[in-house]
Amino acid sequence: MDIRGIEKKWRKKWEGAGAYEPKAGRGKKKFITAAFPYPNSPQHVGHGRTYTIADIYARYWRLRGYNVLFPMAFHVTGTPILGMAKRLKERDPELLGVFENIYGIPREKAESLTDPAELVLYFSHEIEEGMKEIGYAVDWRRKFYTFDKHFNKFIQWQFRKLKGKGYVVKGTHRVAWCPSDSNVVSSHDTQGDVDPEIEEVAGVKFKFKDG
């Protein structure tokens, strides 16, 4: 029995029939979403767990007669992708080894992914194809990236709303700082997700006659 052939056949039929493309104005509605995948690697088992749960939930409501919208997007902002592109540009042997030996990406291809946008597009395509092979009930017509202009405007609107309600305030806080990139960093921004150390130092001021 050709299992993969059967899967491919039915995926093609579902796509051709627009099985997961809801039509406006039809009955009761349900919107399903999950945390967008961060495309700095191919699809892995963590993606499978997260989006299989969302997929089951979407199918459940569809079977109950709801008009279900389940779109997909890619979270592409933040420093990890920038840091990865920089390491590829510098021909970091450790990262190139991961790409070649773990991700199965030829070294020549890995060495060409020095532009963060190209890196995003490469891995997002890999993840999308993986999701399609699994058969997720996603409406791919509505795919977007978090650096798209309309999504940026949406986030700006959110922050203005939150600030207007007093939930976002400006203050003074201790932060970890990277002198190389002149940027505040958290564990998400470091290689290996290591918490940056924040040290306390005592400063003593001396008054000089000529000062």
The pLDDT value given to residue 197: 82
The pLDDT value given to residue 211: 62
Helix (H) or strand (E) holding 149: helix 149-164
Q: At what angle do helices 116-134 and 79-89 cross, to 10 degrees?
A: 110
The pLDDT tens digits for 127-152 are 999 999 999 999 999 999 999 999 99
Asked if residue 131 lies in contact with residue 138, where contact means CB atoms within 8 angstroms, the answer is yes
78 pLDDT above the threshold of 90: no
Asked if residue 24 lies in contact with residue 69, where contact means CB atoms within 8 angstroms, the answer is no
Domain ranges of the chain: 3-171
- Residue bearing tokens 């056949």: 9
- Work out the mean pLDDT of the chain and round it to a whole number: 91
Tell me the CA distances in angstroms from 199 to 21, 89, 158, one per residue in order: 53, 32, 34
State which fold the 3-171 domain adopts. Rossmann fold (3.40.50)
Mean pLDDT is lowest, of 46-55, 63-72, 137-146, 165-174, for 165-174
Residues facing 186 on adjacent strands: none
Does this model's pTM top 0.85? My answer is: no
**3 state SS of 17:** helix
